[in-house]
Amino acid sequence: MISKDWRKWWNEDPVRARQSDLYYQVGRTVGGIPTGEPDLVATSDAILAALRLSRTETVLDLCCGNGLISAKIAPHCGFLVGVDFSEPLIQTARDRTPNIKFVVSDVTILDGAILGVDQIDAAYLAFAFQYFDEAMARKLLKRLKILASPAFRLLLESIPDIDRIAAHYHTPERMAAHQKRKAEGTEEIENWWSAKQLAELAGSEGFACAPLLQHRERVSSHYRFDALLTLIA
């Protein structure tokens, strides 16, 4: 099976590059309909509740896309840097919120000099962990550990839960279509995780991992979960 080239897709898809709806542009849709401000507020509130940021802390928005969430979180910390490998999305983020620093980079090869920081206190990765397989997840955690302050915490938000996959593909037709896309390497939700699998991987990289249930008002709560990672002393 050949996996979809997500780097090319997020950088070169002509329809996405011209899309004026910011929610659709970054795939925040249900049934093809943009989820809008209520979903964005609920997501941002979940991030803030989990990370408990202070106004002196340095924070990374990993896979930040066009900066929708960055703009919500930045006022609650000292310094926020958004990171994404999509140049078109980063340009949109810079145009919308020039007061926030955005960097074009693969988050699995984070570099303090490029980010302009010596140390990070917290980070979050929202609605994007589905693009990470185990090897990529390990690379991400290794890079973050190098930059992390002693009190560092990481929120992985909206992780597809393999134990509830049938709640998302809830008819035989939807499940069959998913399996067909997966066989063809075109499935957007490419990597499904269990809480146990994630905790074991995090532990092997020096992080404690606490799974978090999403509140029912979240549009993806029936098949996704969050996870808060902290350094093991």
* Residue 151: pLDDT band with limits 50, 70, 90: very high
Q: Is the pLDDT of residue 8 over 80?
A: no
- Per the model's pLDDT, the better-predicted residue between 70 and 31 turns out to be 70
- Per the model's pLDDT, the better-predicted residue between 29 and 9 turns out to be 29
Is 164 within a domain?
A: yes
pLDDT digits (tens, 9 = 90+) for 200-214: 999 999 999 999 999
Average pLDDT over residues 110-137: 96
- What is the rounded average pLDDT for all residues in the chain? 92
CATH number of the CATH domain containing 202: 3.40.50.150
Q: 131 with 190: CB under 8 angstroms?
A: yes
Is 165 within a domain?
A: yes
Average pLDDT over residues 173-184: 92
Is 104 within a domain?
A: yes
Distance CA 233, CA 230 (A): 9
Is 50 within a domain?
A: yes
Is 1 within a domain?
A: no
Output the pTM of the full model: 0.93
Which range of residues forms the domain containing residue 46?
A: 6-231
Q: Write phi, then psi, for 33 (nearest 5 degrees).
A: -105, 125
Q: How many domains does the chain have?
A: 1
Percent residues over pLDDT 90 in the chain: 78
Distance CA 115, CA 105 (A): 9
Q: How many CB atoms lie within 10 A of CB 219?
A: 17
Q: Is the pLDDT of residue 17 over 60?
A: no
Place of tokens 């990470």: 132
The helix (H) or strand (E) run that includes residue 41 is helix 36-51
pLDDT digits (tens, 9 = 90+) for 107-118: 999 999 999 999
Average pLDDT over residues 101-127: 96
Q: Is the pLDDT of residue 11 over 90?
A: no
Structure tokens, 59: 């924070």
Query: Which residues contact residue 143 at a Cβ distance below 8 angstroms, ignoring those fewer than 6 apart?
Result: 107, 108, 109, 110
Q: Is the pLDDT of residue 14 over 70?
A: no
Q: Is the pLDDT of residue 19 over 70?
A: no
Is 131 within a domain?
A: yes
Structure tokens, 119: 């140390």
